[in-house]
Amino acid sequence: MVSEEKKAFLLLKSVIFHYHGLDDDERALLEETAKEIDGLEELQWAHEFIAEDYYTAFERSRKYLEGVMNSMDKEKRLQYLISVWNANNKKGYISEMEATAMLKLARDWHIERELLDFIRK
């Protein structure tokens, strides 16, 4: 995974976890993911991106991610969203706000139907 993909993936996961405030479990999951993909610098970039303006972080992330993700193949985009969905399950819950945010991103990336199919299974 190249640096730009790491940034996009970690920003995706971060912005969803930050949606209602980043707790300790979410922070640990982010750090674990960053270590797994050798992306600690990219995780720091994602945190700074969000901290730049917390209230507009999701919309700014949507714009950034749309440009990066739509250049990837559909399977990879879906894989990233499924990974974030599963990470939310790993922490024990997916809030309605987080689910809605992921569905908005799936719509932006033209994979809404595929994500819904996954969720229904």
- What pLDDT score was predicted for residue 20? 78
Whether the CB-CB separation of 66 and 108 falls below 8 Å is answered with: yes
Please report, in tens digits, the pLDDT of each residue of the chain (121 residues total): 798 999 999 999 999 999 878 888 889 999 999 999 999 999 999 999 999 999 999 999 999 999 999 999 999 999 999 999 999 888 788 889 999 999 999 999 999 999 999 999 8
- What pLDDT score was predicted for residue 39? 96
- What pLDDT score was predicted for residue 17? 92
| Three-state secondary structure string covering the chain | CCHHHHHHHHHHHHHHHHHHCCCHHHHHHHHHHHHHCCCHHHHHHHHHHHHHCHHHHHHHHHHHHHHHHCCCCHHHHHHHHHHHHHHHHHCCCCCHHHHHHHHHHHHHCCCHHHHHHHHHC
Domain residue spans in the chain? 3-120
